[in-house]
A and B are shown apart, each in its own frame.
Chain A
């Protein structure tokens, strides 16, 4: 009789422990995925702002930043697995200060993205939204860099010089 009771107790304890461990393990995995997505987004924002500050003009800025974003994010995005869904990366220009008639321009790269989360239905908050059965967590990353005030000398050293490339 005691043996039977012990076996029942072990079963209940195992069940409870398994349920709790499962929650903990999945939460840890989910946490890892969110962190990795955040790192990828920050890396992408960093690279895009780096490209923006060395772009020779607005046209080059738009084209090169798109290529940089595509190059970085393409490896992390797959059509079959929506773990990381990046949005557009707008780059805006902001004048920080003017010194000796020279404006100091900062370029801000903002990347909005979404991470697929497993138990979004049970979680609340304004940062979680759903598309069908997929629950997504909103995230954002940004990076700012200062551009050289003399961008017209990106391709040559002085007014009458031959171009570098």
Chain B
């Protein structure tokens, strides 16, 4: 009778501990998956915005020094007294002695989509317009600045995205472990947290699915010829510039694009949490285990979380030589933004 009573008490304690551990491990898997997904969503939002900044730089030039009203359909050249432009050549004019290039001290660059490679920067800033004189000029300072800023943004993007697999693994492990704290304040939740290999054998969950566009950016210097016609009683006076591209430098790397084959699949994260039978927190369990001849089992649980954006992917879907998809995709998707939520595991496991 005493044995039966003790067995009942041990059964109650063991079952309570087992079910408690089961909940802990399920919560560990859920929270690890959701945390990695939330981290991934933040990374995608940051990368999307920096991608947009790269696009802004290439399209509009240096903020504050350029006009930023250019669009592909209507380059700002036309807003600024330009009467004729095509890829690689521009022309502007004004009345004698009132050259806008002199008035502003600098002039914005001009971007022509698809001129060569991904695009070109038409640098129209000058060392200083000769004003009422006539002569040749050359400039490349502003395109060099743009190139430096684009390279800086590319490095920033790499600093955010390259550590993602390692950091997300660490977050998942720490969060899964912290699901239970013992009396000494030591974390003793799930012992092991891994990508669920049955659902994600190639560990795509730990990839962002983004690739660097490598079609290159060509930065052009600009040569210019300035012609001044002084006032006289017979010919209408005038002052005009003609621009054309000269030497160029090529940078191989540019914005990120969402690899069409991988990106959609990497947005779902599968986690598998395990609490081992010989875990520290299981010491002493099962109660009366030796007497009853039972061992404490290994408990595991799986969970899936995903990142989603209700408006669009925020990144161009393929490698291209045009800047417009970078801008368009960001503008379309920024209202949605990337978020994270728990999703069904799918396939065999339905939750």
Contact check: which of B16, B263, B309 meets A39 at CB < 8 Å? B16
Contact check: which of A36, A154, A161 meets B264 at CB < 8 Å? A161
* 10 chain-A/chain-B pairs, Cβ below 8 angstroms: A35-B16, A47-B351, A54-B304, A54-B344, A156-B308, A157-B264, A157-B268, A158-B309, A158-B313, A165-B347
In Å, the complex CA distance between A22 and B2 comes to 10
A residues touching B (Cβ–Cβ < 8 Å)?
A: 21-22, 25, 28-29, 31-33, 35-36, 39-40, 42-43, 46-47, 50-51, 53-56, 60, 64, 67-68, 148, 150, 153-165
In Å, the complex CA distance between A50 and B303 comes to 10
Could you say which of A55, A159, A163 has the most chain B C-beta atoms within 10 Å of its C-beta?
A159
* Count of CB-CB pairs between chains A and B under 8 Å: 114
B residues touching A (Cβ–Cβ < 8 Å)?
A: 1-2, 4-5, 8-9, 11-12, 15-16, 19, 22-23, 26, 30, 263-265, 267-268, 304, 306-313, 333, 336, 339, 341-344, 346-347, 350-351
> Are A157 and B8 in contact, CB atoms less than 8 angstroms apart?
no
Q: Which residues of A contact B4 (CB under 8 A)?
A: 25, 29
> Are B264 and A50 in contact, CB atoms less than 8 angstroms apart?
no
> Are A32 and B344 in contact, CB atoms less than 8 angstroms apart?
no
In Å, the complex CA distance between A50 and B33 comes to 14
> Are B350 and A67 in contact, CB atoms less than 8 angstroms apart?
yes
Contact check: which of B1, B310, B339, B344 meets A154 at CB < 8 Å? B344
Closest Cβ of chain A to B127, distance in Å, is 48
Q: Which residues of B contact A54 (CB under 8 A)?
A: 304, 342-344, 351
> Are A36 and B23 in contact, CB atoms less than 8 angstroms apart?
no
Knowing A39-B15, A68-B351, the reply to whether A164 touches B264 (Cβ < 8 A) is yes
> Are B26 and A153 in contact, CB atoms less than 8 angstroms apart?
no
> Are B310 and A33 in contact, CB atoms less than 8 angstroms apart?
no
Q: Which residues of A contact B1 (CB under 8 A)?
A: 21-22, 25
> Are B350 and A157 in contact, CB atoms less than 8 angstroms apart?
no
Knowing A32-B12, A40-B19, the reply to whether A159 touches B310 (Cβ < 8 A) is yes
In Å, the complex CA distance between A165 and B265 comes to 8
Closest Cβ of chain A to B115, distance in Å, is 30
In the complex formed, the residue of A with least CB distance to B5 is: A25
In the complex formed, the residue of A with least CB distance to B199 is: A165
In the complex formed, the residue of B with least CB distance to A67 is: B350
Contact check: which of B19, B312, B342, B343 meets A158 at CB < 8 Å? B312
In the complex formed, the residue of B with least CB distance to A151 is: B341
In Å, the complex CA distance between A40 and B19 comes to 7
In Å, the complex CA distance between A160 and B263 comes to 12
> Are B351 and A164 in contact, CB atoms less than 8 angstroms apart?
no
Q: Which residues of B contact A35 (CB under 8 A)?
A: 12, 16
Closest Cβ of chain A to B280, distance in Å, is 23
> Are B344 and A157 in contact, CB atoms less than 8 angstroms apart?
no
Q: Which residues of B contact A39 (CB under 8 A)?
A: 15-16, 19
> Are B267 and A157 in contact, CB atoms less than 8 angstroms apart?
yes
In Å, the complex CA distance between A112 and B342 comes to 27
Q: Which residues of B contact A33 (CB under 8 A)?
A: 8
> Are B16 and A53 in contact, CB atoms less than 8 angstroms apart?
no
Contact check: which of A32, A60, A164 meets B268 at CB < 8 Å? A164
> Are B267 and A51 in contact, CB atoms less than 8 angstroms apart?
no
Could you say which of B1, B2, B8 has the most chain A C-beta atoms within 10 Å of its C-beta?
B8
In Å, the complex CA distance between A32 and B11 comes to 8
In the complex formed, the residue of B with least CB distance to A68 is: B351
> Are B350 and A32 in contact, CB atoms less than 8 angstroms apart?
no
Which 3 A-B pairs have CB atoms at the shortest separation, nearest pair first? A148-B341, A157-B267, A153-B308
